[in-house]
Structure 1
Amino acid sequence: MTGRPTTPVLPSPLRARLGLVAVLAALVVAGLAVLYAGHSRPGAVDSWIVPPTADSVRPPLRYVAETLDFLGEPAGSAMVVLAAVTVCLLLGRPRAGVLMVAGAGLAVGTATLLKHLVGRTIHGPDNLSYPSGHTAFFTALAFAAALLATDRLGLGGTAGTSLVLAAALVAGATMGWAQVALGAHYPTDVLGGWCTALAVTPATSWLVDRIADRLADAGPRARD
């Protein structure tokens, strides 16, 4: 089977570069996890970025932060993912739609698992904070959207990788700012969430392509 429906979500020119990014991101996630395991206070880097005496963000920026935070909650994230999948289907990119769901879901799932393993808390023993699931979600979604844009624009390895990483950086920084501004996470939690998405989403993209290719190959054989 050929044509648009079988277009890979992870273009060949980007695989090696994004694979390296995923490995480096995973190392950062692991390193921060070891460094802050069991902690309940901001680290030196956190205090340097956001002093303990800093005031919370005030309106109207607070409304912006709260809106972004809602987009990372179950109801808000479901709306965002549904819209993203709809766009993918309208563009004739079902694999990209699958990645929107799988990439964001696995990034958040990985972040949730790490929270329980690391045990870092903020504002009480029940508020697990490392890594930021909101940041992981927003970054993974932007990553997947940028892969789709790379394919649509026909960008090569360097340009395509730059677009994907730029989109992931903007999305991670935007949601990360909201989480820190609202006091929901330390800055290093945000970094961990961003790197979690960078580690998980390329692997998910590769997996989506592998499964889709095998299903496409199995179809003709089943009809023979």
Structure 2
Amino acid sequence: MDRLAGTDLEAGQGQLAARAVLPPSLRAWLGLIAALAASVVVVLGVLYAGRGGPGRVDSWIIPPTADSVRPPWRNVALVLDFLGEPAGSVMVIAAGVAGCLLLRRPRAAVLVVAGAGLTVGTTTLLKHLVGRTIHGAGNLSYPSGHTAFFTALALMAALVATGRLGLGRTAGTSLVLAAALVAGATMGWAEVGLGAHYPTDALGGWCTALAVIPATAWLVDHLADRMADQITDAGRRERR
């Protein structure tokens, strides 16, 4: 009985450890992308540190004003903006965690909470470090927390889908990048259209999520694997 129980324990822990939220086939590519994205965040932060107006690139794309987007698209932009506010983000995170648990993906549920928290925390810290403002000294704008948060959600969903579907390196990387691009462009459009951010703020937020989420996913896997190994070792000691 003890031997059978120990075997079942090892099998269960092995299955848990195999459910990585950062698929091994994607680690190298996403690690490189994360490094490049972090470099972009730093470069833009240095360029716009302490500034209170649009840069040359911002003026080329679209000058942010309060009425850049008008009804009915303004209503869409306002809904998207709400999803990045505290009340909306809590609702979205709760739905994501519930979905992961229904799919029996506890690691993914941890990633949703940790990834969202670290992404928002990073953008908040960077805003105070960079000090770029919009519409007055009290409105820190770089990088866009809304864009980073929405992109992070898309990245995490794509990572879970990649693992669940068993996608290879090319298909998995394509899915993750496509999801991040669509989410970042959508929320970036809303924030710039509502006059809440400059386009380069949105770009900085997008790159922040690309830098934070792969690192967070790797950390979740690393800690979960260590816990699984400890439980397995404890089971082996009990059988002796």
Report the TM range for the smaller structure's normalisation: over 0.9
Q: SS state of the match for residue 2, structure 1? A: helix
Q: Tell me the number of residue pairs that the alignment of Structure 1 and Structure 2 aligns.
A: 224
Q: SS state of the match for residue 14, structure 2? A: coil
CA distance in 1, matches of 2:224, 2:204: 30
TM-score, L = length of structure 1: 0.97
Matches within 5 A, 1:103-122: 103-122=115-134
Q: Aligned to 1:130, which of 142, 155, 164?
A: 142
Contact 2:37/2:207 (<8 A) preserved: yes
CA 1:63–1:53: 2 relative to 1, 3 Å: closer
C-alpha deviation, 1:53, in angstroms: 7.4
Q: Does 1:197 align with 2:209?
A: yes
Work out which of the two has the higher radius of gyration on C-alpha atoms and give 1 or 2: 2
CA distance in 2, matches of 1:4, 1:215: 10
More displaced 10-residue stretch of structure 1: 42-51 or 28-37: 42-51
Tell me the amino acid that sits aligned with residue 97 of structure 2: V
Q: Does 1:181 align with 2:193?
A: yes
CA 1:53–1:150: 2 relative to 1, 3 Å: closer
- The aligned residue for residue 30 of structure 2 is 18
**Percentage of matched positions with identical amino acids:** 74
Tell me the amino acid that sits aligned with residue 212 of structure 2: V
- The aligned residue for residue 8 of structure 2 is none
CA distance in 2, matches of 1:76, 1:44: 33
- The aligned residue for residue 37 of structure 1 is 49
Per-residue CA deviations over 1:22-68 (Å, capped at 9, x if unaligned) read 00000000000000000000000101111367942111111100100
TM-score, L = length of structure 2: 0.90
Matches within 5 A, 1:52-201: 55-201=67-213
CA 1:104–1:52: 2 relative to 1, 3 Å: closer
Q: RMSD value over aligned CA atoms?
A: 1.3
Contact 1:26/1:196 (<8 A) preserved: yes
Per-residue CA deviations over 1:110-142 (Å, capped at 9, x if unaligned) read 000000000000000000000000111011111
Q: SS state of the match for residue 3, structure 1? A: helix
Contact 1:130/1:193 (<8 A) preserved: yes
C-alpha deviation, 1:105, in angstroms: 1.0
- The aligned residue for residue 46 of structure 1 is 58
Contact 1:9/1:96 (<8 A) preserved: yes
C-alpha deviation, 1:219, in angstroms: 1.4
Q: Does 1:27 align with 2:21?
A: no
